[in-house]
Amino acid sequence: MSNTLTLQPVGILSSPYREKFAVPRQPGLVKSAQARLELLPPCNDPQTLRGIEQFSHLWLSFVFHQTMDQGWHPTVRPPRLGGNERVGVFATRSTFRPNPLGLSVVELHGVGRERGKLWLELGAVDLLDGTPVVDIKPYVPYADSLPHARGGFAPDAPTPPLAVSFSAQAEQQLAPWLKAHPELRELVREVLAQDPRPAYKKGKPDDKVYGVRLFDVNVRFQIKEPQCQVLAIEPA
């Protein structure tokens, strides 16, 4: 048996996240993050999706395509441990893995088909724009939901989110973008509420102005815990 395995993407995902800094650390945290998964030949045969709309959620197996060339280490520093303590890579969901594969659960909003193209409309995604997806499976609640499972060093949901407000300038700059992306205001609010800064920055004074790219805009913001203010929304 060969030690080499070749996987071909079944589809490519289009999402609002244009950089790793913006992506929430777990699926389901940003409900307004919508995406489209366009299937590639030969998987763009409509028969491959027969019956899929009976399910509300899907599992996506995908490739960490933006970090796969950076290699991996046996231990990593999870953000939930403050970025200071090392644990084994297989005890984390780190993107830096021997095989750069991830698993995410997403909402299924519908199926689209037009001019030979076939796609899935998805919600609550935590995947970068351009992510190659290598498999799709239905989420089955009775088998996949294990409420009594132990969560190790991440037993509970993240700390309460930040309160996000928009400056007058940011409100004015946001308005023209809402026509193309009506969900942009809520997307910005939900992404920043999760505090995307490095773990070592949290709980300390921080005067830095950060920027995060969503769709084609650069969102500039500043955090004074427990508040986050959006300062500007500029073309990326």
Task: Output the pLDDT for position 100.
Answer: 95
Q: What pLDDT score was predicted for residue 27?
A: 85
Distance, C-alpha 176 to centroid of its chain: 25
pLDDT of residue 190: 96
Tell me, letter by letter, the H, E, C secondary structure of the chain.
CCCCCCCCCCEEEECCECCHHHCCCCCCCCCCCCEEEEECCCCCCHHHHCCHHHCCEEEEEEECCCCHHHCCCCEECCHHHCCCCCEEHHHCCCCCCCCCEEEEEEEEEEEEEECCEEEEEEECCCCCCCCEEEEEEECCHHHHCCCCCCCCCCCCCCCCCCEEEECHHHHHHHHHHHCCCCCHHHHHHHHHHCCCCCHHHCCCCCCCCEEEEECCEEEEEEEECCEEEEEEEEEC
pLDDT per residue as tens, the chain (236 positions): 678 889 999 999 999 999 999 898 888 899 999 999 999 999 999 999 999 999 999 999 999 999 988 999 999 998 888 778 999 999 999 999 999 999 999 999 999 999 999 999 999 999 999 999 999 999 999 999 999 999 998 888 777 689 999 999 999 999 999 999 999 999 999 999 999 998 888 888 999 999 999 999 999 999 999 999 999 999 99
Q: What's the predicted TM-score (pTM) here? A: 0.92
CB 63 within 8 A of CB 144: no
Amino acid at 26: Q
Q: Return the pLDDT at 181.
A: 96
CA distances for 24 relative to 19, 44, 55, 65, 118, angstroms:
11, 29, 24, 17, 27
Compute CA distances 67 → 20, 23, 100, 128, 129, whole Å: 9, 14, 8, 11, 13
Question: Residue 235 has which token pair?
Answer: 């073309």
25: Cβ–Cβ under 8 A, 6 or more apart, which residues?
Answer: 79, 93, 126, 158, 194
| Tokens of residue 44, six digits | 């763009």
pLDDT of residue 160: 67
